[in-house]
Amino acid sequence: MGEENSYEAIHEYFTKYLREHKHRRTPERYAILEHVYSYEGHFNADILYNLMKQDYRVSLATIYNSLDLLVECKLIIKHQLGNQYAQYERAFGNNNLHHHLICTNCGKVKEFSDKPIRVAIQSKAFVHFKMSHYSLYLYGICGKCKDELKKGIIHIPRFTEDSDDF
Ligand SMILES: [Zn+2]
Ligand SMILES: [Zn+2]
Q: Which of 136, 96, 138 is nearest to 120 (CA)?
A: 136
Report whether 35 contacts 10 (CB < 8 A): no
Could you give the domains of the chain? 1-94 (1.10.10.10), 97-166 (3.30.1490.190)
The angle formed by the CA atoms of residues 97, 99 and 86, to the nearest 5 degrees, is 105
Q: For residue 32, give Cα distances in angstroms to 4, 12, 17, 49.
A: 21, 15, 15, 9
Ligand 2 centroid vs 142 CA: distance in angstroms?
Answer: 4
Residue-level pLDDT at 108: 81
Between the CA of 146 and the centroid of ligand 2 the distance, in Å, is 7
Q: Compute, in angstroms, the gap from residue 42 CA to the centroid of ligand 2.
A: 15
* CA-atom Rg of the chain in angstroms: 19
Measure 55 CA to ligand 1 centroid, in angstroms.
26
pLDDT value at residue 65: 94
Q: How would you write the pLDDT of the chain (166 residues) with one tens digit per residue?
A: 444 568 899 999 999 999 999 999 999 999 999 999 999 888 999 999 999 998 888 999 999 999 999 999 999 989 877 667 788 999 886 656 789 998 888 888 888 989 999 899 889 999 999 887 778 889 999 999 999 999 988 887 766 555 455 4
Three-state secondary structure call for residue 90: strand
